[in-house]
Structure 1
Amino acid sequence: MKIAAIIPTYQRPKDLERCLEAFKRQTRPVDQLFVTVRDTDAETWTFLQSYNAELLPLQALIVKVPGVVAAMNCGLDAATGDIIAFTDDDAAPHADWLERIETYFLKDEKIGGVGGRDWQYVGTEIKEVGERKVVGQMRWHGMVIGNHHLGVGEPQEVYVLKGVNMSFRRDAIAELRFDERMRGTGAQVHFELAFSLRLKQAGWKIIFDPKVAVDHFPAQRFDEDLREKFSAIALENQVHNETLALLDYLSPIRRIVFLLVATIISFLKWLQLLPREGVLSNEKFLASLRGRWQGVQTWNQGRK
């Protein structure tokens, strides 16, 4: 099979270099390698002009719209592989990443998506120690369980893959694009949830295998989502995107249950955080409610 890999990047040339070097070490060479770069990102363009790609089939694509969704769709439009794989510029796929991915797609024609664990590091230290066997699942009431960075055990069918480590059969996603309704000017959290659920809805299998692994060095973001620092706008966007993705997927009854359960959980989190965070807990609770309501509004607009 022909494999195309897509790496969205923005102002992180050192991270991008580490990622590209990891592709040089793949036991199964990539057939197409696209880096999507913002037109305003002079630092990355300068790096790419001097980077020694050696035998990598590297192509840089210009993106003129902010956000990861536009970057991913730009890569999708250019890729012609039978398998289309995605990773982040701050990740380094293990040497057998593409080889393991291809094996799954060759083995079962009903598999539409394959992904695996992202081993998260701060420097040389594991960011969060732990193991979870339940990964990428969704409960009946709509709550999603991630744990992709802690996944262990045997391969399993899942509902959602993580953007830093995911691949798809081209035939399965021929009519799909990453949802441009996702909010945010950079990370656009939960874009992969919306995409994975549409694939699941179409009847394709999605596989998580912890051995299909990448090393992930979560780097600085250049948008409202600053990872470790609270931003009301970032939380609103995150909750909006989650709500939109789930309302698109769930049945009418499950939509109602999801909204009720999500609101109750937000309220309980507020009560839990209030004694130690005070006013900040109020801001988080209100941002969550606003994001949930905005997600419902966006979903309703799409039905008209």
Structure 2
Amino acid sequence: MTSKTTPGLRLAVVVCCFSDERRDDLDLGVRAVRDQLNPETDELIVVVDHNEGLQAWLSDHFPDGVTVVPNHEDRGLSGARNTGTAATQADVVVFLDDDATLRPDGLDAVRTAFADERIVAIGGAVHARWEAGAPPAWFPEEFGWVVGCDYRGLPPHGSEIRNPIGAAMAVRRDALMKAGGFSHRLGRVGSVPAGCEETLMGIELRRLFPDSRIVRIEDFAVDHTVPRSRAKLEYFTNRCLHEGRSKAILSAMVGAGAGLSAERSFVLRTLTTGAARCLGRGVTGTPSAFARAFVLVLGLFVTAFGTVSRSLTTRGAAAGTARPGSSTGRAATEAAITADELVSVVIATVGRPSLLDTAKAVLAQTHRNLELIVVDNRPQRGAATALVAELDDPRLRVVEEPVPGVSAARNRGAWHAHGRLVAFTDDDALPDPDWIARVLKTFVADENGIVGIVTGRVLGTDAATVEQEWFEEAKIFDKGTEATVWAMCHEGATAELGGYGPHGPFFPYTAGECGSGNNMVFRKTALASIGGFDERLGTGTPTRGGEDLDSFRAALLDGWAVAYNPLAVVRHYHRDNMDDLRVQSYGYGTGMAASLAKLLLSGPSGAWAIIRRFPRGLHMLLSPTSSKNVDLPREWPLELRVREAWGYLAGPVLYLRSRRHRVGSLDLT
């Protein structure tokens, strides 16, 4: 690491606070930061987490040199940190806890570290400042993380780390924004001692910037207050339990390999040697060492119990333990969707020229309360940013997803979405001006909260060639003029949503009758409950498709309903030549077969569900008189049928190939 400083580096120090009880610590911490700021380049931002009284006190107490802002996101540390990040344009964001006091020259150490362009984030040294003067005799030093401080087993100064400790960390702002900030599903909310949001941040930064480094810098140091309330065994076990639960959520989001890599090493090396050291000292005449050994094992057990119990709960929810189609609704506990709801529209793209027209059509919606998130799935080209550069609209953002595939791009867009509804369309589609307004009417009419997805009608933009006429006549995207509700159980839908659709031989496992991916709008909670789009499926992966059908099926099996509104229209530029139709037909076959192969490999119940439907399903897929094929025009070339059938055979093999290289999906909450 270079030792030179970077005088022009702009720092923003973000301190998040929520409790009036910490005013003394907060005052001390703010003054320590102000003494180290470069007044020409740096800024100090204090984010108040939904406490108007504390915000007013801070504004009066620090009238100059401190920017005080309320948390504009959901209550919790993650939302407060995201608010602080959005409030600055600095090069590096330094995060400090409201009960941590920066030691002298701490910000100089930050500037020195980030002079190395390879460093994307750093973690500082967090020294415990025990209110009682010293830790309890039973407290094992290996569990310093329980009180948010350093612990035995941390790597030395300058070493690479998976993630920093949140009380003292710094991140390049641009990188943090590309990583999606901090997840609301993780992190402390008020006094609930959850965590792991910094771990997810570190994992995301390494995924997006594989050549970068996250290092520990001991000269960037703080003194962190540990109140007497946290020096109790009750707090210790409660914190361990919540940490274990957070680890389970994190592992579901990124996989156990990434989510628990450091923990395995910590248990095998640090805790085992720590227990041996405590027992040795107890034998040689230090009775309290036996207590430390006991608490060390207790902490390990409670943390592991939290991880396992939360993992089992998560799996049960994913398997649809709630009765499908229950009239109480999966969204019954949410606030009702309103006609003026913020809707996040996501367009995944590799920079196709038609993107500009699609973006213009979205921004021209009659429903104005929306945001448009364009996800550049080929960021090394920069074509997407260049295409929409002429659109001067604050509702438009471009984010990057370097992992190829429409599912990864859509997940990235949903991750950045601020709305409770996330709409998806393609970069070669033109939504009608009232598309979002029509979708909202469906969600508003869902009085019982059963609808997780609304789909709409997809028509051609034109029919300039015979191939486009064939496609339109075949009704591959067009699902008709009747409002329909698709659900596992026929109860809970209001009359305004339409009648229930019939269950065909492969329902809900093919789910093609529900709609298509270029016109679908999810409740964000529904998308999160199924783990987002499966990144092993879809355009840009070996499977070439199937991700939309897979998401519909997963939502239906998870107890949600899919409502089709034929008045919510998106117009699609159909393929205008035989070469493109050949590729598209093959992709339909591979995508559907890959989606079914996923279910076959999911376990005995999933495999049996497919096997017992296979004879009737095969007839539906291949017979010219089946409901799937009856609308095909008489002129539809036999070659396209053959290519689709060949795709059905190739799909499972392609899924296995994709499965070897992908781990699944992103968490979206």
TM-score (norm. length: structure 2) = 0.36
Deviation at 1:177, TM superposition (A): 1.1
Instruction: Kindly provide the CA deviation profile for residues 269-300 of structure 1, in whole angstroms up to 9, marking residues without a partner as x.
Output: 8xxxxxx979x95x87555324246658989x
SS at match of 1:99: helix
Match of 2:363 among 11, 24, 34: 24
Matches of 1:30 and 1:149, distance apart in 2: 27
- The match for 1:40 is 380
- The match for 2:458 is 118
Matches of 1:58 and 1:266, distance apart in 2: 41
Match of 2:478 among 127, 149, 163: 149
Match of 1:66 among 397, 404, 407: 404
Match of 2:567 among 194, 211, 214: 211
- Are 1:179 and 2:537 matched, yes or no? no
Matches of 1:267 and 1:155, distance apart in 2: 25
Instruction: Kindly provide the CA deviation profile for residues 112-161 of structure 1, in whole angstroms up to 9, marking residues without a partner as x.
Output: 110111112346687345497xxxxxxxxxxxxxx442511234436433
Matches of 1:184 and 1:25, distance apart in 2: 27
SS at match of 2:545: coil
- Are 1:291 and 2:291 matched, yes or no? no
Match of 2:594 among 221, 232, 241: 241
Matches of 1:131 and 1:152, distance apart in 2: 15
Deviation at 1:188, TM superposition (A): 3.2
In structure 2, relative to structure 1, the CA distance for the partners of 1:262 and 1:122 (3 Å cut) is same
In structure 2, relative to structure 1, the CA distance for the partners of 1:31 and 1:229 (3 Å cut) is same
Instruction: Kindly provide the CA deviation profile for residues 17-62 of structure 1, in whole angstroms up to 9, marking residues without a partner as x.
Output: 111221232111142210001213333232233x1234x5000011
Answer yes or no: is the 8 Å Cα contact 2:549–2:595 preserved in 1: yes
Deviation at 1:63, TM superposition (A): 1.4
Answer yes or no: is the 8 Å Cα contact 1:235–1:291 preserved in 2: no
Instruction: Kindly provide the CA deviation profile for residues 172-198 of structure 1, in whole angstroms up to 9, marking residues without a partner as x.
Output: 222321002216526831100111111
Matches of 2:585 and 2:427, distance apart in 1: 26
Please report the RMSD computed on the Cα atoms of aligned residues, expressed in angstroms.
3.7
Match of 1:12 among 352, 368, 372: 352
The amino acid that maps onto 2:582 is K
TM-score (norm. length: structure 1) = 0.74
Answer yes or no: is the 8 Å Cα contact 1:240–1:294 preserved in 2: no
Matches of 1:236 and 1:124, distance apart in 2: 26
Matches of 1:258 and 1:151, distance apart in 2: 25
- Are 1:92 and 2:447 matched, yes or no? no
Instruction: Name the larger-Rg structure.
Output: 2
Answer yes or no: is the 8 Å Cα contact 1:153–1:210 preserved in 2: yes
- The match for 1:200 is 556
- The match for 1:162 is 516
Answer yes or no: is the 8 Å Cα contact 2:454–2:562 preserved in 1: yes
Answer yes or no: is the 8 Å Cα contact 2:586–2:644 preserved in 1: no
Answer yes or no: is the 8 Å Cα contact 1:9–1:35 preserved in 2: yes
SS at match of 1:228: helix
- Are 1:190 and 2:543 matched, yes or no? no
Instruction: Kindly provide the CA deviation profile for residues 241-292 of structure 1, in whole angstroms up to 9, marking residues without a partner as x.
Output: 23235545975543213444556677878xxxxxx979x95x8755532424
The amino acid that maps onto 2:534 is D
Higher relative contact order (CA 8 A, sep 6+): 1
In structure 2, relative to structure 1, the CA distance for the partners of 1:47 and 1:232 (3 Å cut) is closer
- The match for 1:138 is none
In structure 2, relative to structure 1, the CA distance for the partners of 1:48 and 1:237 (3 Å cut) is same
Matches of 1:193 and 1:40, distance apart in 2: 30
Number of matched pairs = 272
Match of 1:229 among 560, 572, 582: 582
Of all paired residues, the percent bearing the same amino acid is 23
Q: Which moved more, 1:156-165 or 1:169-178?
A: 156-165
Deviation at 1:233, TM superposition (A): 7.7
The amino acid that maps onto 1:26 is Q
In structure 2, relative to structure 1, the CA distance for the partners of 1:98 and 1:287 (3 Å cut) is closer
In structure 2, relative to structure 1, the CA distance for the partners of 1:83 and 1:251 (3 Å cut) is same
Answer yes or no: is the 8 Å Cα contact 2:406–2:538 preserved in 1: no
Answer yes or no: is the 8 Å Cα contact 1:86–1:163 preserved in 2: yes
SS at match of 1:60: strand
In structure 2, relative to structure 1, the CA distance for the partners of 1:242 and 1:29 (3 Å cut) is same
